[in-house]
Amino acid sequence: MAKALDLEEQEQLDQIKHFWKKYGNLISWILIVILGAYAAWNGYQYWQRDQAAKAAILFDEVERSANAGDLARVQRSFADIKDKFPGTLFAHQASLVAAKFLSTQGKSAEAQAALKWVVGAAPDPAYRDIARLRLAALLLDGGSLDEALAQLAQPVVPSLMGLASDLKGDVLSAKNQKPEALSAYKKAWDELSEIPDFRRLVEAKLNALGVDPLASASSGNTK
């Protein structure tokens, strides 16, 4: 009985050796690829966390410098985060903060450059479109009306459509294109139905142009 078991075990061992001889290299390479991919993924995750942590520190520096009114530190810390961590959301947040501060310091060209960078580089559509609207507002203030309209001609995320239409109305008003401005303001008034405060501002602009959107809406409902 013992000899039978020994023969059976030897046969199984021979089968295992034969299998490993045939497929051993393939299995080894598959394991190497799997373990290598796992190690690379863990390394990438660690790198991302490290990048985000370092970017967060620089973002905080931009924000604190802006609150303190320190122009030189804002410029320096913003340049650092933009150069070292351009792929992080913190870098794009810092750009929005820096642009707002720079515009208050009379650095419109620098503010526009910061916003254009977000428009072109931000992976998040919301950040991109916020930057686009702020850029259009700066262009309007600077008298670059056609450039502002070019920015506003681009589609934006639904939550910003009303604000984009309102700003478009401002630009068209500045260009003395009253019919087009009225159309943009009416569109903004419709799109801002869920944001009463902004809607009242648009309503005031329409009233200034001789249009009562509430009366128009009421007459439309009675038809």
Asked if residue 133 lies in contact with residue 160, where contact means CB atoms within 8 angstroms, the answer is yes
Comparing CA positions, the residue from 126, 124, 101, 123 lying closest to residue 111 is: 101
Q: Is 209 or 1 the better-scoring residue by pLDDT?
A: 209
Higher pLDDT, 123 or 125: 125
Residue 24 Ramachandran class (φ > 0 left, ψ -120 to 50 alpha, else beta): alpha
pTM of the model: 0.75
pLDDT at position 55 is 84
Q: For the segment 20-60, what is each residue's pLDDT rounded down to a tens digit?
A: 676 667 666 666 656 555 555 454 455 456 666 788 889 89
User: Residue type for 206, please?
Assistant: L
Backbone φ and ψ for 188, nearest 5 degrees, come out as -60, -40
- Distance between CA atoms of residues 45 and 49, nearest Å: 6
pLDDT of residue 124: 87
Domains of the chain: 51-123 (no CATH), 125-210 (1.25.40.10)
Q: Name the residue type at position 216.
A: S
Whether the Cβ atoms of residue 95 and residue 107 lie closer than 8 Å to each other: no
Nearest to 204 by CA among 175, 170, 176: 170
Sign, Cα dihedral of 145, 151, 156, 159: negative
Q: What is the pLDDT of residue 104?
A: 94
pLDDT, average across residues 156-174: 94
- Average pLDDT value for the chain: 83
